[in-house]
Amino acid sequence: RCPAYYSRVFEDLAPWKEKGIQEHDLETARKHSAFRAIVRDGRLYVELYYRCFQTRMMFTIVGIMQLLQRFPGQIPDVDIFFNCQDRPQITKSAFDEAPPPLFGYCSTKNHFDIPFPDWSFWGWPENKILPWRSQLKRITQQAEWKDRDSSVQWRGDPRTSQIRQRLIACNSTGDKTLLVHGQNWRDQSDLQNWKLESHCHSRYKLYAEGYAWSASYKYIMGCGSTVLAIDSDYYEFFTRDLKAGVHYVPISREGNLCQSISNARQWGESHPGEAQAIATRGQRFLVEDLSLDQVYGYMLHLIQEYGKLQKFKPPVPREAHVVHPGLVKCLAHPRDLETLERTAI
């Protein structure tokens, strides 16, 4: 069974369905790209343009490399440009005709950017987050919903968005059931004893966007807590098929945010069966529809359909490097080697 979000591939590639993708269409995409991934005859080549934050680029490339290892002979020759910034780049208002195809980690209804699984599925060593297969197993092995603390909890960097700054202000309301913790991910002393799974002990978890989407959504929902999701314009490749009242409780960003969160919690405490069912369905979606096997299946489907649209044989630039596991390990920071070992097929 294919998850519903697989069908979004056709929606995301629709701008190029009529005329296809020509080599000159990629020139504008290059201006917004951190790197370029070329697959030719089953080999992966990468051309680098600028450095991405932390290890985003490396683990995204690792994901593509492992896709080729997992599906030998099934990946077509393709030429893909990647944006590794938080926000999408290709606005719909800027193009009357087919836009430049650009892959990234999120998109909006006002952008043409093609959403692709973010780097954290293969690990996020700077934040002590394991590859998704291992991390999902840990966060799903938590206490029963009814046995958890009845508070609402959020942890993250409040500097990345206005909505998060408004969340921090909730600490001054005196509501002891709403626990908001500002986290400086750059401060290693703050991360010394950090374990993602240790923050899965509350019945309710908040999701709030950062600069754009936040990679935290899957970890929050995987906890088995009832997710209270604040409205966001940004979506990942899978989140468009999460349904309000089924997988999460929606929170409006308009009006009194702190009171809206408190009201959602009170509803959950008054309707524990329904609140727990939402938590269960959300976690089941993560386990069944967002397993790493399903993520790889989505990547295969996306790249195969993208390859059908390309009307040229991708060239291998002189500056491109052939990517293989030995090269990745050689170039990786020593801190990242354990994560690379964990994510290996």
Residue 59: which region, alpha, beta or left (left: phi > 0; alpha: psi -120 to 50)? Answer: alpha
Same domain, 301 and 183: no
Same domain, 138 and 284: yes
Check residue 316 and give its pLDDT.
96
Same domain, 204 and 323: no
Burial of 62 (0-12, 13-18, 19+ CB in 10 A): buried
Check residue 194 and give its pLDDT.
65
The domain total for the chain is 2
Distances (CA, A) of 243 to 109, 114, 171, 223, 281: 17, 21, 29, 18, 10
Does the pTM of the predicted model rise above 0.85?
yes
Check residue 185 and give its pLDDT.
64
What mean pLDDT is predicted for residues 292-321? 97
Check residue 137 and give its pLDDT.
94
Q: Tell me what the pLDDT averaged over the chain comes to.
A: 94
CA atoms within 13 A on the CB side of 32: 24
Q: Are 246 and 225 in contact (CB under 8 A)?
A: no
pLDDT by residue (tens digit) across 233-282? 999 999 999 999 999 999 999 999 999 999 999 999 999 999 999 999 99
Check residue 189 and give its pLDDT.
61
Same domain, 272 and 132: yes
Is residue 86's pLDDT more than 80?
A: yes
Burial of 284 (0-12, 13-18, 19+ CB in 10 A): middle
Same domain, 254 and 153: yes
- Buried b / exposed e along 150-178 (16+ C-beta atoms within 10 A): ebbbbbbebebbebbebbeebeeeebebb
pLDDT by residue (tens digit) across 181-213? 887 766 666 665 567 888 899 999 999 999 999
Same domain, 225 and 205: yes
Check residue 187 and give its pLDDT.
64
Residue whose entry in the numeric block shows the structure tokens 């966060």: 139
pLDDT by residue (tens digit) across 150-190? 999 999 999 999 999 999 999 999 899 999 988 776 666 66
Domain hosting residue 148, numbered range = 127-289
Same domain, 169 and 51: no
Q: Are 231 and 248 in contact (CB under 8 A)?
A: no
